[in-house]
Structure 1
Amino acid sequence: MSFIQIVDSEGVVLDAPFWFPEDQELGSEAYAVVSILGCQGSGKSTLLNKLFQTNFLIADKRNFGRATTKGVHVAKCPQNSLLVVMDVEGGDSRERGVSGKAFQSRIAGFASAISDVVLINLWFHDVGRTEAASYSLLRAIFVEAAKAAAEGGAIKTLMCFVVRDTDPSYTSEELKDILLQGARDIWNTIPKTGEAVDAKLEDFFDFDLFALPHMQYESEQFENKCKELKDHFLQESHPKFYLRSEYSKVGIGIPADGFAAFSKNLWESVYENAEILSSGDVEAGQAELTAAYKCEEATSDILRDIAKETSKLLRNLEDGEKISNLGSKFRDLVNQCLTRFDNAVSDVSSNALVSRKRRELEAIIDTSLNAVFVKQLQVLRENALSQFKASLSSEEVPSDFAFFTADSMFVREAEDSIRPGSDWSYNTERTDLQNTMHEISSRRKQLIAQQIQAAQQQASALQYLQMQQAQMQAIQQQQYGGSGGNWNFGAAYRPPETDVNISVGYQQHRTSIQISMVPDESAGYLGPGGFTAGVGPGNLGLSFNINI
């Protein structure tokens, strides 16, 4: 759906009775308004387009650093004709520079005053950085809330922090706690009058947080999380439905047919606070404000490049291959970033401010690189564990030696991955590796013991069978007679001119002596013919056998 510009880049509000042609037909129906605030180029317009199917302009990479959304743009959500989506100019526009702080604060105050839900779009690396542009916008929002409270017209607003490119090692609750503490600190510094003096921040705002992974490098997860966030706005049955009546500005008379007029009056009212909103950001005067702006600009540029570099390193580790000399790479990268920062702020006279910003920058870089270090440790642990298992597969390598070798390799490569000067540690991963190897060694010893026991049982069973076989052979020998042997032998002798045949035979473990007086057809020791061939025809007689 197309959008319209209700506030231009010069701060001129659209002077028209209606924003949209259908406003007059809607009459007293009340709009719900969702606005988004955040740094320039942080993906605000892209996020709104994904959530609400709008067509806000998105940044052109070839014109990076130039604002795409100038002033305030609005569009309707195609899935809800009473939902107005507001895209707001980035809070750190380079084109406006330092002088644009008042304008940006004015826009932030206006958006928060008219919106049911305000999305604060910020980078993960800006969480906790009180000098980041997003925190300046919070001050502007809170000043407007305090003013409305003092006049008795404050209505609660839902503020949802949308944290981009999050580190999975941080939970949403941890990020929310950090941001809420920063928000409370800002609220406590704002001058208040009337009913706002003793009020708490939570009296005027409810807070939520939604963490989004990297849109490019984790595109599938990003799309899924956007669908989840979208349901908070469009599914009334959702347990955390955002567009609840308690946030609706209908209570102060904003029907659809009067929305444009109300917005114009509100814009003029917020203009009166522009000077307060801007002067509260930095109290040390124009020179200090200029210094802070330059430091912030340099920091944002460097952190944007660091985010790309860490994403590249993490992708390299996804395949399970370690990055050699990672600690040295970290050292060189940090030194390059700090040198860039020093060069960018070389003309800033406030040494104290520069030093503080430099320390903050190094701390943020350290946190980003630590995520790569932790991923490297996971790869090193798996490599050491694989080597340990391979060593155990060889019966010649003792398990203690395999343990020592794998542990030493892990320690050596982990030490090589630490950024010099950091307080990083690999103790947790090493302990986990050692525990895993101990468990594997224990299981291996149990398996070997079971194999030995099974072999012993098998040997005992074999011995028993051999004994049974020997007993059976002994029984057979007793039954058939004779003694054991491994060969067959037969011989016969007939004395000349006698009727006596004498034969001796050894066959099938039996020894036999036979004396025949007649042909013996059944004598099988000397062949199927027995002694027939050796006895004359017609001779008959007796024979006897002796088995030895």
Structure 2
Amino acid sequence: MGTTIDCCATQLIDADGSFNVTGLDNFIKTSKMASSDLSYVTVAIMGPQSSGKSTLMNHLFGTKFKEMDAFRGRSQTTKGIWIAKCTGIEPCTIAMDLEGSDGSERGEDDTAFEKQSALFALAASDIVLINMWCHDIGREQAANKPLLRTVFQAMMHLCLFSPQKTTLLFVIRDKSKTPLEKLESILRADIQKIWDAVPKPHNHVHTPLSDFFNVEVTALSNYELEEDKFKEEVAQLQQRFIHSIAPGGLAGDRRGVVPASAFSISAQHIWKVIRENKDLDLPAHKVMVATVRCEEIAYEKHSQLRSDKGWLELKKAVHLGPVQGFGKKLSSIIDTYLSLYDKETMFFDEAVRNAKRKQFQSNVLDTVHPAYKTMIGHLHSKGLKDFKTTLDGSLGNGEEFASSVHYWTRYIMLDFDKGSTDASVRQTNWDASKVRDELHKDINSHISSVHIAKLEKEKKARKEDRIWFLALNMISLAILGAPSPSN
């Protein structure tokens, strides 16, 4: 795997059905597809072997898919599924070239890969080109009949689970002198006949073709015999792919589109489900893709936050001491990464992205919470230290104990409240009340110890005063010659 024709063409699925994950991821990176969000289109082409599919894609989209060499015989050229980025087309358009149907190389009975690749193209594409020979239109044994039957069976299977209407653009090759209107009328009759014959669930037996997908028809001249005319007609057709996602455009129905950044995950899962022959439930698939990508984006943004320079500097600063404006700074950092998550997930399933955002925010808050606790701890330590200092100063200046305690307790608690408000983080409901209660408790404890010390000091002073009083009294009696007072 990993074979490439040039830097913009990659084999997505090989002839054995192996999915080239590495090749697709490299393709998305080099083509800058991931930055397209929903502004991209995927176009696939199906058709009989050696019907000029690759030639058409290369002229229509400026790709370089390998083309058949007529001088070497009409053997199979494209094997598996190849992808390339179209040039000169806006929005970003990705082309898929599928292996031709009814190839002798696989044998008459080996139709499994053909059906699987058809279903994959229909599920992964906005527009599917059906390449067919003009001389086959209206013929019962035409080469395109098995292909159309395969396409409609796959489409019926897919449409049961998909809200999106895919555009089928039938390209009539080597048109004759018969007017296009006549060819289109015959072709649509053929299409309707095949559609009517496709088995359908009871509730869709009478559902018209147009309810499931849009049908467009165009015709091209013979490439070898009328090359200039062919190129002119292709140039006109190319104009229909410019701004194709606009309302009414070939890819105007965007209900089932997967954001470009998730295209690889989506394509891998679609192919895996198809190969395992399971029901391809596209709404469930869309949720799965959203879940994987939103988790990846959340993990990526969380990792970026943990190494963010501003966050690391704030965490270091708060470790050393209180930080003015801590809450505002931290809230701004958190907002940055929540906004980045929102921007990169905005096109995914709303319920999934909201659930993953909630978990992402919770993980982020778990990361930054220790810094907040440290900050509030600093406010506690500073408050208690400042209370002790200011109370001691007041009492030392002879101020009354009760009034000093009341004043400085109120002052310090208000200062703590101011600091905790400054430290509050906007995205949280973190509450500093427990630390505030601890500070108040520690202040009261200090008040009690100071009060006890004050009482002990006063008691000691009264005792010393009594001793002095007794001593002076005895001295006075001795001087006067009076008998000593009895105990």
**What TM-score comes out, normalization by structure 1 length?**
0.46
The correspondence of residues 57-206 of structure 1 with structure 2, limited to 5 A, is: 57-79=66-88, 80=90, 82-151=92-161, 153-168=162-177, 170-193=178-201, 195-206=203-214
Does structure 1 conserve the Cα–Cα contact (< 8 Å) formed by 2:28 and 2:34?
Answer: no
CA distance 1:269–1:154, shift in 2 (3 Å): farther
Return the match for 2:215 from 184, 196, 207.
Answer: 207
1:390-431 deviation digits (Å, cap 9, x = unpaired): xxxxxxxxxxxxxxxxxxxxxxxxxxxxxxxxxxxxxxxxxx
Does structure 2 conserve the Cα–Cα contact (< 8 Å) formed by 1:120 and 1:160?
Answer: yes
Return the match for 1:224 from 232, 239, 253.
Answer: 232
CA distance 1:31–1:25, shift in 2 (3 Å): closer
Does structure 2 conserve the Cα–Cα contact (< 8 Å) formed by 1:38 and 1:133?
Answer: no
Return the match for 1:28 from 19, 30, 37.
Answer: 37
Mapped to 1, the partners of 2:246 and 2:171 lie a distance apart of 19
CA distance 1:157–1:42, shift in 2 (3 Å): same
Equivalent residue number for residue 46 of structure 2: 37
* Same amino acid, percent of matched pairs: 33
Does structure 1 conserve the Cα–Cα contact (< 8 Å) formed by 2:33 and 2:92?
Answer: no
Letter of the 2:236 counterpart: E
What 5-or-longer segments of structure 2 have no aligned partner?
1-6, 280-487
Letter of the 1:95 counterpart: E
Letter of the 2:62 counterpart: Q
What SS does structure 2 have at the residue aligned with 1:90? coil
Structure with bigger helix share is 2
Whether 1:252 aligns to 2:256 is yes
Mapped to 2, the partners of 1:178 and 1:24 lie a distance apart of 39
CA distance 1:242–1:12, shift in 2 (3 Å): same
1:272-304 deviation digits (Å, cap 9, x = unpaired): 5599xxxxxxxxxxxxxxxxxxxxxxxxxxxxx
1:54-79 deviation digits (Å, cap 9, x = unpaired): 11000122432321110100001122
TM superposition shift of 1:239: 11
What SS does structure 1 have at the residue aligned with 2:158? helix
TM superposition shift of 1:38: 0.7
Larger mean Cα displacement after TM superposition, 29-38 or 126-135: 126-135
What SS does structure 2 have at the residue aligned with 1:67? coil
Letter of the 2:116 counterpart: R
Equivalent residue number for residue 59 of structure 2: 50
TM superposition shift of 1:124: 1.0
Does structure 1 conserve the Cα–Cα contact (< 8 Å) formed by 2:38 and 2:257?
Answer: no
Mapped to 1, the partners of 2:114 and 2:28 lie a distance apart of 25
Does structure 2 conserve the Cα–Cα contact (< 8 Å) formed by 1:33 and 1:85?
Answer: yes
CA distance 1:271–1:154, shift in 2 (3 Å): farther
TM superposition shift of 1:145: 2.0
CA distance 1:146–1:39, shift in 2 (3 Å): same
Does structure 2 conserve the Cα–Cα contact (< 8 Å) formed by 1:145 and 1:154?
Answer: no
Return the match for 1:267 from 263, 266, 271.
Answer: 271
Does structure 2 conserve the Cα–Cα contact (< 8 Å) formed by 1:103 and 1:274?
Answer: no
CA distance 1:167–1:238, shift in 2 (3 Å): farther
Letter of the 1:129 counterpart: R
CA distance 1:237–1:15, shift in 2 (3 Å): closer
CA distance 1:239–1:214, shift in 2 (3 Å): farther
Mapped to 2, the partners of 1:148 and 1:189 lie a distance apart of 17
The correspondence of residues 458-497 of structure 1 with structure 2, limited to 5 A, is: none
TM superposition shift of 1:50: 0.6
CA distance 1:260–1:238, shift in 2 (3 Å): closer
What 5-or-longer segments of structure 1 have no aligned partner?
276-548
The correspondence of residues 429-448 of structure 1 with structure 2, limited to 5 A, is: none
Equivalent residue number for residue 299 of structure 1: none
Mapped to 1, the partners of 2:142 and 2:153 lie a distance apart of 18
Residues paired across the two proteins, number: 269
Does structure 1 conserve the Cα–Cα contact (< 8 Å) formed by 2:36 and 2:260?
Answer: yes
TM superposition shift of 1:119: 0.9
Mapped to 2, the partners of 1:92 and 1:164 lie a distance apart of 17
CA distance 1:271–1:175, shift in 2 (3 Å): farther
What SS does structure 2 have at the residue aligned with 1:98? coil
Mapped to 1, the partners of 2:108 and 2:122 lie a distance apart of 22
Letter of the 2:214 counterpart: D
Mapped to 2, the partners of 1:259 and 1:112 lie a distance apart of 14
Equivalent residue number for residue 350 of structure 1: none
Does structure 1 conserve the Cα–Cα contact (< 8 Å) formed by 2:48 and 2:147?
Answer: no
Equivalent residue number for residue 8 of structure 1: 14
Equivalent residue number for residue 234 of structure 1: 242
Does structure 2 conserve the Cα–Cα contact (< 8 Å) formed by 1:150 and 1:192?
Answer: no
TM superposition shift of 1:48: 0.6
Letter of the 1:192 counterpart: K
Letter of the 2:9 counterpart: F
Letter of the 1:203 counterpart: D
Mapped to 2, the partners of 1:150 and 1:235 lie a distance apart of 28
